[in-house]
Amino acid sequence: MSEVGTPSSAKSAQIPSGARQEPVADAISHRTMLSSTTVYQGRIWDVVSDTFSLTPGSKPLTRDYIAHPGAVAIVVLNDANQVLLLRQYRHPVKMELWEIPAGLLDVEGEDFVIGAARELAEEADLIAAQWHVLTDFFNSPGSSSEAIRIYLARQISAVPEADRHVRTDEEAEIELRWVDLDEAATAVLEGRIHNPSAVVGILAAAAAAREGFASLRDSHAPWPAHPGNRAQ
């Protein structure tokens, strides 16, 4: 008879006392690729159709997905522990979303941190002197190869007026606002912020802040999940 609230199957799966578990970590897993074809070429990204087998000789599977160059996003904190949010119209969802600065890694050979600094200057007219990796994530791994690295940027200053990027199209409507980090985290948990980079970045920053950001990785930490590092 199992204990109340503990199914017998769950009890039998418990790790024996003293047993050592490996840390939870995603891992590259190359499978047998049979074919790969670009079925649609877009202005920014393509759609690819791959046929592969999970094990040698097993039934072939075909999956279509967006081939994406990767992206960076930035949680910017000022000395008052406020995070910079920007509001921008996103046509696919037909909403104005509160986001953090972000952009594509679409410049060949560009260092990831340099790309993040470029996006921060272009979208928010800011320069940061201190950079750390906050977290990495896949935006939609069932349908896209996109990987996003989120940086924490601090010790900020303004881009000189003469050097500022001229924002056009949707970016011309960008509205900037400084929000207390705890308030931003509450907005995420209450469902008032939907942008995935903002959701992940804000909650990661709120968690890291509780230990004084002591465990964050160096800004040039390896990024094995970037699309360029997962090529088969």
- Is residue 99 part of the annotated active site? The answer reads no
Residues belonging to the chain: 232
Q: Give the 3-state DSSP-derived string for the chain, with helices as H, strands as E and coil as C.
A: CCCCCCCHHHHHCCCCCCCCCCCCCCCCCCCEEEEEEEEEECCCCEEEEEEEECCCCCCCEEEEEEECCCEEEEEEECCCCEEEEEEEEECCCCEEEEECCEEECCCCCCCHHHHHHHHHHHHHCEEEEEEEEEEEEECCCCCECCEEEEEEEEEEEECCHHHCCCCCHHHHHCEEEEEEHHHHHHHHHCCCCCCHHHHHHHHHHHHHHCCCCCCCEECCCCCCCCHHHCCC
Report which residue type is found at 93.
V
Identify the CA nearest to 104 among candidates 78, 58, 73.
73
Catalytic residue among 22, 146, 171, 190: 171
What positions carry a catalytic annotation? Answer: 171
